[in-house]
Amino acid sequence: MIRHLIALVIGVILGAVAAVALLYYNPLAARNRLSPLSVSDQEIISLAYSAVAQDAIVYTNDGESRVHPRPIKVQQLWEAPVRRTDVLVTVLSDSRNNPAGIGIKFMSDSERTRLINGEVLVDSAWHIVLPERGSLFMFQTENYWNFLRQIVVPAYWSSGDSWKGSWYGNTTVGPGALGTARVWGGFGEFAGLDSEAVESISARAYSVAEGPVAMEGRLTIEVVGRVESQAAELATE
């Protein structure tokens, strides 16, 4: 009887390990797709930022995560309703790498996360202010499955507790049907804008102790619709 029980327990453990391996190596899980905006013939705004928390103006979270808040004295989001939320305030640079404005990103773990589908989802919102052009509000669902699988887990497996390499991927997976974010205009020449965007990450180094060490984020925003007429109106004034 005891031998059967031991066999059952060993079988269950082996089965659980096999199931985790199946999920981890699931070939049907999220693939890195080409951004639909890469073939757009509309005007594109490209904004880059450092995705390293220590380069941010302000980065805050619950204070117990791998990525430490910055500056050290910043208030932490420890209350239960905001504990699974991170906030990043950063300088956004244009395609010539000149400072173009400020971006504030709110990121909350999504309850729609489904590991079985290869989905580690984050609901995020950007408040973007480009003083010389106007403001934008961007909402998206991001999937960090590929980032976790190809960077974070290998960093844990590494004897140096770090990952180095070259990784590029789009994190935006919705809410747009083609896996794009939704963008609305605020003031300035973007007033009335209703468009799409994609956020991508380019990583070169990651540390288990500190999180991203060398990583850049990029927002690719399509400028369409009423904005063109607004810009024309401004030009004629």
Partner 1 sequence: MFKTLIFGFLLGIVGTIAAVYYLPVVDQYRESSIITVAPNGGNTEAFHMNIPMDRIMTGAPDQAEPVPLGLEWPDGETFSGLSAELFKIRNADDVVIGVASRVASESEKFGDSIEWVVHLPARGTLHISMPPESVDGIRRVGTVRAGTREFGPMHGWVSERWVANTDDDDEDAPDGRIELVTSLVGEFADEVPEETS
**Residues at the site binding partner 1, with contacts judged by CB under 8 A:** 3-4, 7-20, 22-23, 57-58, 60, 71-75, 77, 79-85, 87, 89, 91, 99-102, 104, 106, 108-111, 113-116, 120, 123, 125, 127, 129, 131-132, 134-135, 137, 139, 182, 184-189, 234
Least gap, CB of 172 to partner 1 (angstroms): 14
Least gap, CB of 164 to partner 1 (angstroms): 28
Are 205 and 216 spatial neighbours (Cβ–Cβ below 8 Å)?
no
Are 199 and 140 spatial neighbours (Cβ–Cβ below 8 Å)?
yes
CB proximity list for 9: less than 8 A, separation 6 or greater = none
Closer to partner 1 by CB, 26 or 162: give it. 26
- Distance (Å, rounded) from C-alpha 217 to C-alpha 215? 7
Are 70 and 52 spatial neighbours (Cβ–Cβ below 8 Å)?
no
Closer to partner 1 by CB, 27 or 160: give it. 27
Closer to partner 1 by CB, 41 or 237: give it. 237
Closer to partner 1 by CB, 78 or 168: give it. 78
Are 98 and 112 spatial neighbours (Cβ–Cβ below 8 Å)?
no
What tokens does 234 get? 């401004």
Least gap, CB of 2 to partner 1 (angstroms): 11
Closer to partner 1 by CB, 182 or 226: give it. 182
- Distance (Å, rounded) from C-alpha 134 to C-alpha 93? 15
Alpha helices in the chain (DSSP H): 2-24, 145-147, 153-157, 226-236
Least gap, CB of 115 to partner 1 (angstroms): 5
Least gap, CB of 166 to partner 1 (angstroms): 28
